[in-house]
Structure 1
Amino acid sequence: MRVRLALAWFGLMLALPAAAAEYVALPGGTFTSVLPADGKAAAAQVAPFRLRTELVTNGEFLAFVQKHPQWQRDKVAGILADARYLTQWEAPLVPGGQALPRQPVTRVSWFAAQAYCESEGARLPSWYEWEFAAAADATRRDARADPAWRESILGWYSRPSSSALPEVGGVANVYGVRDMNGLVWEWVDDFNALMVASDSREQGDPDLLKFCGAGAISLQEKENYAVLMRIAMLSALKAADTTNNLGFRCAKSN
């Protein structure tokens, strides 16, 4: 009975016209990243781009796997998603009471997140794009120098990871983007380029984001521990991995 009711509820939701995801324009520009562009102190260059205002939700991802059944948890190829993929859902097409429609979808692999973004004519944001957007608060484009702002972000890490996720739709930052900090970790397109051995960095590796974690922490913006923790977490993942608190949002190039 419970499963039938859940199916009826989500069936009703999907019968309604789907609202198009909202993207907002970010100006880009020269940006002081925790990962300097030259491995020493050079600022990053972020081209203007568009970013999804909200994280992708369970309800949206349900519509996606219905339309693209190869991404349902009982059909997805093992090379594209690990065994935990969407296991918080009651059934492959029933998120259920533990994964409400407006909560961010989690336990999704990088491959699945990228496929979803492509279905919106988008892509995952790069690390620099994500960091650029996440530096803003409600009134400032770059709030990182404010100790109170940094402390509020660190507060998220003290909350139990087993707690139910809030729904998306928190306070928007100055660009109109919501929940950049304090809700879930987020996939970025170039997550697997955030760490390499230090010897390749010292030899002038041309790839912009190739740094070992210890090297990154010793370079700059050391006070932004929350951002550095995200780098450490993302750099430890493989593209097929999923976790309880890892979701995503999409971006578009201008």
Structure 2
Amino acid sequence: MRRIALALLALPLVAGADMIRVPGGQTRIGDDAGRADEKPSFLATVAAFELDRAPVTVSAFARYVAAHGIVTEAERVGSAAVMSFGSGHWRLVDGAYWLRPLGPDGPKAVADHPVTQVSWNDAQAYCAAHGKRLPTEIEFEHAARLAGHGGRHAFGAQLVAARRYRANVWTGAFPAINTAADGYRTTSPVGAFGRDGLGFEDLAGNVWEWSADWYAPYGTGTTATGSEKAMRGGSFLCDPNVCYGFRVSARAHATPDSALMHVGFRCARDLTD
């Protein structure tokens, strides 16, 4: 593993190192016409903050691993979650981790793709080591809504514009058929689908992204504690006719020690001026 990580260190650090300032303001969070956990919608006031332009890449994570001697939770446990294409069943695969996200028999992670098979704990530690933090759910949705000019998607109104896909999502009939009409069956290079209205890459699709928050129904009055952490943004497994997870209000969740083949992260930072 360490030889592979050191080899990746020789690669240039791709998009994801720079950050974008997200202006503060008031945003409606959730969707009263959406899924159950997106209701009831509510108004939230968000302070300006900075957010990574793109998800953390495999090459960036490799640098971090090599510099700090990191062993991720999936490596310590010895397995991580992989979905079986065709059946849609999830299973723990021995030897799956961030450099072999589908397991030892699958392809190596690609340097300019978003890193996956990192737990919430791994992601939080990475952000802290870089003087940053994970974004809150509200911050993520606020940024996505601004990027999409108030629409349902961060990339704009239409998933396909001028015969070109605007995000890496499931194409076909989930989970049996993936046509890869968007060009990819799993993750795609960061920024392959261009930038949105604020300049972000992959704020919708490609991989779900960990947020700082515990997952809880809206309207319960607290998200301070829980058993699972919330995720935002949708992934390459999101079918518009099934979970439709790449909408700005869509949510997912998993325990903070979970490592999954379709989940990554990006970091945020408070403004100091």
Q: CA deviation at 1:5?
A: 8.9
CA–CA distance in structure 2, aligned partners of residues 143 and 151 of structure 1? 12
**2:145 corresponds to 1:122:** no
Counterpart among 194, 200, 212 of residue 216 in structure 2: 194
| Partner residue in 1 for 2:23 | 27
Q: CA deviation at 1:87?
A: 2.3
What are the Cα deviations for residues 38-66 of structure 1, in whole angstroms up to 9, with x where unaligned? Answer: x7553111111100001101111111111
The structure, 1 or 2, with the larger RCO (C-alpha pairs under 8 Å, 6+ apart) is 1
What are the Cα deviations for residues 41-95 of structure 1, in whole angstroms up to 9, with x where unaligned? Answer: 531111111000011011111111112224346864x5xx88768525259xx9x
SS state at 2:212 partner? coil
| Partner residue in 2 for 1:131 | 141
User: Under a length normalisation based on structure 1, what TM-score does the superposition of the two structures give?
Assistant: 0.68
Counterpart among 189, 202, 205 of residue 167 in structure 1: 189
Larger relative helix fraction: 1
Give aligned-pair identity as a percent.
Answer: 26
| Partner residue in 2 for 1:12 | 10
Q: CA deviation at 1:99?
A: 0.7
| Partner residue in 1 for 2:203 | 180
Larger Rg: 1
| Partner residue in 1 for 2:61 | 61
User: How does 1:51-90 map onto structure 2 within 5 Å?
Assistant: 51-72=51-72, 76=76, 78=77, 87=97, 89-90=99-100
Larger relative strand fraction: 2
What are the Cα deviations for residues 73-123 of structure 1, in whole angstroms up to 9, with x where unaligned? Answer: 6864x5xx88768525259xx9x9531110100111000001111111101
| Partner residue in 1 for 2:150 | 142
1:69 and 1:75 in contact (8 A); partners too:
no
Q: CA deviation at 1:157?
A: 3.7
CA–CA distance in structure 2, aligned partners of residues 71 and 123 of structure 1? 19
CA–CA distance in structure 2, aligned partners of residues 173 and 145 of structure 1? 10
CA–CA distance in structure 1, aligned partners of residues 265 and 145 of structure 2? 17
Q: CA deviation at 1:149?
A: 1.8
SS state at 1:71 partner? coil
Structure 1: 5+ residue stretches without partners:
211-223
Q: CA deviation at 1:194?
A: 2.9
The alpha-carbon distance between structure 1 residues 31 and 63, as it changes in their structure 2 partners (threshold 3 A), is: same
| Partner residue in 2 for 1:206 | 221
The count of residues paired between Structure 1 and Structure 2 equals 215
The alpha-carbon distance between structure 1 residues 11 and 44, as it changes in their structure 2 partners (threshold 3 A), is: closer
Q: CA deviation at 1:136?
A: 4.0
CA–CA distance in structure 1, aligned partners of residues 58 and 159 of structure 2? 29
2:120 and 2:258 in contact (8 A); partners too:
yes
CA–CA distance in structure 2, aligned partners of residues 244 and 97 of structure 1? 12
The code of the aligned residue for 1:53 comes to R
SS state at 1:66 partner? helix
What is the RMSD of the two structures over their aligned residues, measured on CA atoms?
4.1
1:106 and 1:242 in contact (8 A); partners too:
yes
The code of the aligned residue for 1:243 comes to L
User: Under a length normalisation based on structure 2, what TM-score does the superposition of the two structures give?
Assistant: 0.63
The alpha-carbon distance between structure 1 residues 157 and 132, as it changes in their structure 2 partners (threshold 3 A), is: farther
